[in-house]
Amino acid sequence: MSYHQRISEIIEQKKEWFTYVSDRIWEFAETRFEEFRSAELLCEALENEGFTVEKGVAGIETAFVGSYGSGAPVIAILGEYDALSGLSQERGTATHTPIQPGGNGHGCGHNLLGTGSLAAAVAIRHYMEENQLEGTVRYYGCPAEEGGSGKAYMAREGLFDDADYAICWHPQTFNTLMSISSLANYQVYFKFKGKAAHAAAAPHLGRSALDAVELMNIGVNYLREHIIPEARVHYAITNSGGFSPNVVQAEADVLYLIRAPHAKQVEEIYQRIRKIAQGAAMMTETAVDIIFDKACSNLIPNQTLERVMYDNFKQLGTPAFTEEEQNFARQIRETIPESDKSSDLNMIAKVMGASGKKLTEQLGSEELSTVLLPLLPQARLMSGSTDVGDVSWIVPTVQCSTTCFAMGTQLHSWQAVAQGGMSIGHKGMLHAGKVMAATAIDVLLHPEKIAEAKAELREKLDGTSYVCPIPADIKPAARR
């Protein structure tokens, strides 16, 4: 029996259990650094499978590492389990039906991500034991990927330093290798303090913190013309100063997320935004506190490991879906605007270059993609960010995506939440576990690939050492 067959068999034998774990995490829907029940469930699952679990690593209550085996090589399997706010939605329902209006939901499918990685770690563990393979498999419980950069904090504490290769995945609307580089980012609070006053009787006595926030936002919007086109700057007003328009707002806060292809570029933009904030404070005679929240590094793809993962993905094929699942995906697609449906196809066409047009014609006719996209000859830049980037600076890292959502589904949407808690998402999750486990075993059986992957990483770093972009005095927090 090939290792592909045995790994598939192990995961299929335990698929009901993995589905249960995923669905429970979907139900918990806990946001950054508050994933207490999700983390505990995963820890219990690992312990039941013979893993030794260390909880509360890197000073984070919801971060943990589960280990099986001993010695080298050390295989790092990365898992996530945090949700997003405001995306509550019933599972398996093709209409927008929040379970709790304004509640949390797994709009990026991290319930699937964490459990698919669990399936991979468990399959690797059993295969290693059955075949007496030396080495260590670790499941890294990584909280707060959404807006918290949990892996960056874990990297700062050296948790990945002795790993030999790292494997991860992400739910998507298609099957592919994530041969991409990502944007580094900073997330920073700007908290303005002024002076309250009666807005009608004595407005001249007040100093509006909300005015300062608005002036800062206007200034940053003018800045956009004068930063590199690959950069992204987003903001959210997290405290508007209250609900009384007849009071001059004494406090107001805005949270900024600044992205660019490299950390140095993010830092340059950040320093310009700091000056704009200080200028807004001067104009309004308010004070501003600038509080660094989190950051992450750009992703460094590893083509050596990508070739291994792609070969194993081809051997395993892609997830297959029933007619019932296809019909549900069709209902979901009816709720998605045409512009959103074309977004997936346009992205694939852009990334795939000359072969993209033919692929998009094929994909455009599918409700649920069963195509494995070709392996790219070189990585492309994506406009998003991931704290997997920090891991990739330390250890060779590879990722895949599998079909978990109908074509056109936007991540961070109620449609994604609805599908991530049902069989469509489960099938993509289990298949990802098989691809990751097969990749890990392939490299374990061919240790020369580890040396080759490490040499590639050293070449790409060109003598640059990893420096965590989060300052040493910043501690992880759910809110600031």
pLDDT score at 355: 63
How do the domains of the chain map onto residue ranges?
3-182+298-461, 184-296
Q: Which of 32, 11, 27 is nearest to 90 (CA)?
A: 27
d(CA 37, CA 57): 16
**What pTM does this model have?**
0.95
Q: Which of 199, 404, 182, 191 is nearest to 296 (CA)?
A: 182
Q: What is the distance in angstroms between the CA of the first residue and the CA of the last residue of the chain?
A: 53
pLDDT score at 359: 73
pLDDT score at 290: 98
Domain 184-296, second-level architecture: 2-Layer Sandwich (3.30)
pLDDT score at 172: 96
pLDDT score at 383: 83
d(CA 197, CA 209): 12
Q: One digit per residue, pLDDT tens: the chain, 480 residues?
A: 899 999 999 999 999 999 999 999 999 999 999 999 999 999 999 999 999 999 999 999 999 999 999 999 999 999 999 999 999 999 999 999 999 999 999 999 999 999 999 999 999 999 999 999 999 999 999 999 999 999 999 999 999 999 999 999 999 999 999 998 999 999 999 999 999 999 999 999 999 999 999 999 999 999 999 999 999 999 999 999 999 999 999 999 999 999 999 999 999 999 999 999 999 999 999 999 999 999 999 999 999 999 999 999 999 999 999 999 999 999 999 999 988 877 777 777 766 766 666 777 677 678 999 999 999 887 788 888 999 999 999 999 999 999 999 999 999 999 999 999 999 999 999 999 999 999 999 999 999 999 999 999 999 999 999 999 999 999 999 887
Q: What's at 410, amino acid-wise?
A: Q
d(CA 269, CA 110): 30
Q: Based on C-alpha coordinates, what's the Rg of the chain?
A: 23
In angstroms, the Cα distances linking 341 to 93, 96, 223, 366, 421 are 19, 17, 31, 11, 21
Q: Determine phi and psi for 223, rounding to 5 degrees.
A: -65, -30
CATH class of 3-182+298-461: alpha beta
pLDDT score at 379: 79
Q: Which two tokens stand for residue 360?
A: 């998009």
d(CA 397, CA 421): 28
pLDDT score at 377: 81
Q: Do the domains 184-296 and 3-182+298-461 match in fold?
A: no
pLDDT score at 468: 97
d(CA 208, CA 274): 19
Looking up tokens 């009666």, which residue turns up?
A: 198
pLDDT score at 478: 84
Q: Give Cα 218 to chain centroid, integer Å.
A: 30
d(CA 87, CA 82): 12
Q: Which of 294, 293, 295, 284 is nearest to 192 (CA)?
A: 284
